[in-house]
Every structure is written in structure tokens, then in C-alpha cells.
Copies of this chain bind each other. A is one copy, B any other.
Amino acid sequence: MTRPAQIHDVAARAGVSPSSVSRALNGGRHVSPAVQARVLRAAEELGYEPNLNAQGLRGQASRTVGCLVSDVSNPLYAELVSAAEARLQDEGYLFVLGNSHGDMARELALIRLFRRRRMDGLIVALNNETHPDLLREIEQTAVPLVLLDRDVSVERDRVSADHRGGAYAAARHLIDLGHRDILLVTPGHQVRPGRERMAGMESAFRDAGLAPEGLTFSLQASSIAFVFSDVKQALAGPRPPSAIVVLGTQMLAGTLSAIASCGLEVPGDVSVISIGDTDLARYAAPGITALRWDLKNVGRQAAELLLARFGGDVAPPRAVVFPMELIIRKSCSPPGSNRRGAR
């Protein structure tokens, strides 16, 4: 547990000056092969590891990227984060993760912290798209920054998924099957994905000549814990839906168990579409028709945008949108497939 070796120690051992050590280790230029070899060997023998605090102080880059999401334990973010981290790791960047848990104060504090630490770049999925403090913080961030799937009125690189198009396809699918009473289980419209999905749904209804009022709302399900009871209540109501679209990615579980606990069957009594192709959607019985998009790619792309900026790219902000795909499984059928009393 002795003091770690410093550049000075390496220099002494190699019999050269610290500046030569630095050159030998970094550039390799302006150094004679003989010295370079000696330095390399000395560094190896001493297990020299440059102090990146000092490097970051003297130079400007910290080779660190900050990432802010609401919670990595959300599988969507987990996959995205994993892919982004992998790509950045390849380039030698360190990946700092911050979970806001939906708390705006934490988001603000984290972004500030990221800046204090002189991160080279940021990847952020805000939970609040409008608060002026947050907007100002984003605007004042001098380093490259990628916005994940959010509508923030700031000119920045962004990566998103086509929630609107996906939702449109999902709604269309149900409408074509004959559904008119569709329950939307949604986490709310606070952030872009929720709004876009909603908009897609509504425009599908309008395009089909239907009034969007046919869509029932279940907004209060802002907490996942309420999904079960809300859905159950809707199914037991006077005009139960013939189909349910689960717009929140972690709400499928509650929905399915609510359906089961009402003694109803999928798809006979209720059709179900899930936004987000989770294990549960894939392997539930019956398999749940779901909207999928390539989260790994989203994460990788966010990293790629940052790397391009690091490389000196000064083009105006880009917006990359990834398509969504409707995976047809067995959870949808025309309404009323289970005739009354068939059970």
C-alpha cells in the first residue's frame, strides 16, 4: 500500500527528465527510440499509472462522459446505457451514471455535478422538459450533449424513437380488427414518449374516421403500483374496453394480472398490445403483440454522436430517429371472439 508511482519516479528510474517521460508515453514524437524504450520499461516495472486528475487539470479533456437517466433498473434504460457505455469504453472513455429517480432536484444537481467534474460530454434523459432552471442548465452546458427522446427547446443533438409512428401502427392494427373501445394505460404525458404515443393513437383514430373519444384514459397510473387496480376498475366498468394498449413500458405486468384476476382471457375477451418488447411480452402465454425498437442502437448512436463531436464535428445539431416495429403475436383478435357465456 505504498504511494503510487509518479512521473517523477519513472523519470528517475529511466535517468531522464519528467518531460521526456511524458513525451515517451504520450506522443512518442520528439523522443529518441533509446529513451522511449528505457521509459517504457521503467514505467512498466514501477506499474506507473498517470494520475488522471492531474492530466485533466493540465490538459482539458477528462475522457469522461456523464449519463443521466431516471433509473437504470428500468430495463429500457439498462439496455440503452449498456450499449452506450460499451461504445464509449472502446474509445477509452469513462462512463458516469446518475439516476434521477424522476426527481427534478436530483436532475439539476446531477447536471451541475457533471459540469463541475468537467465531463467531456453528456447523455441525458430529462424527466422534466420545461422547467426553466433545467433548460438553463442544459443551455449553459458547454460540452457536447445528447438528449434522449425528449422535447426540450434547446438546440442540441438528439436521439429518439418514433413513438408516434409506432403507436399509430398499433392503433391501426386494433382498429382494423374492429376494436372501437380501447383503453390506454399510460404513465402520463409529462415527457415526449408519452405525448407522441398518444398523438399517434389519436391520429390513427382520426384517419379511420373515428372520434378519438373512443379512447379511454387511465392517466392516474403514474405510479406503476396503480396499474393493476386502475385496469381492473376499467374492466369492471359499465362499458369495458375490448382492447388495451399498454403505453408504459413497465405496466404490462400489472395489466395482465388485472385481466387475469377479472377472469378474462387474452385475446378472447380483451386484446392487448404492449409498447416495449420485454421478456414478459415475448414469453407470456399467449405472446403479447408488441412494439419494438432497437435500444442498443439508440444507446450506441448517442455515444456515436458524442464521439463525433469530440472529434471536432461542428455541424448543426442532428436528430436521429429510430423506427418502431409492430411484432404481431397472439394477443389480438377481433372484439367479441369469446361469445358471451362461452366460458
Contact = CB atoms under 8 A, between A and B. Distances in A.
A254 to B, nearest CB: 9
Interface stretch (A212-220, A276-284, A303-311): A276-284
Interface in A69-120: 71-75, 78-79, 81-83, 85-86, 89, 92, 94-99, 101, 106, 110, 112-113, 115-118
A73 B71 contact: no
Interface stretch (A26-34, A50-58, A147-155, A156-164): A50-58
Most buried by B among A64, A78, A81, A112: A78
24 contacts: A4-B115, A49-B115, A51-B118, A52-B117, A53-B53, A53-B54, A57-B57, A64-B96, A72-B82, A73-B75, A81-B97, A85-B98, A86-B99, A89-B106, A92-B113, A94-B98, A94-B117, A96-B97, A252-B279, A253-B283, A260-B285, A279-B280, A284-B284, A285-B285
A315 interface: no
Given A57-B51, A253-B282, A82 B75 contact: no
A256 interface: yes
A72 B62 contact: no
B62 A73 contact: no
Interface of A: 1, 4, 47, 49-54, 56-57, 62, 64, 71-75, 78-79, 81-83, 85-86, 89, 92, 94-99, 101, 106, 110, 112-113, 115-118, 140, 142, 252-253, 256-257, 260, 278-280, 282-285
Given A53-B56, A95-B97, A95-B98, 16 more contacts: A4-B115, A4-B142, A53-B57, A53-B62, A57-B57, A72-B72, A73-B81, A73-B83, A82-B99, A85-B98, A85-B99, A92-B113, A94-B113, A252-B279, A252-B283, A257-B283
A146 B110 CA distance: 24
A256 B283 contact: yes
B280 A118 contact: no
Most buried by B among A64, A112, A252: A64
Contacts of A106: 89
A99 B115 CA distance: 24
A52 B115 CA distance: 9
A279 B260 contact: no
Most buried by B among A51, A56, A117, A278: A117
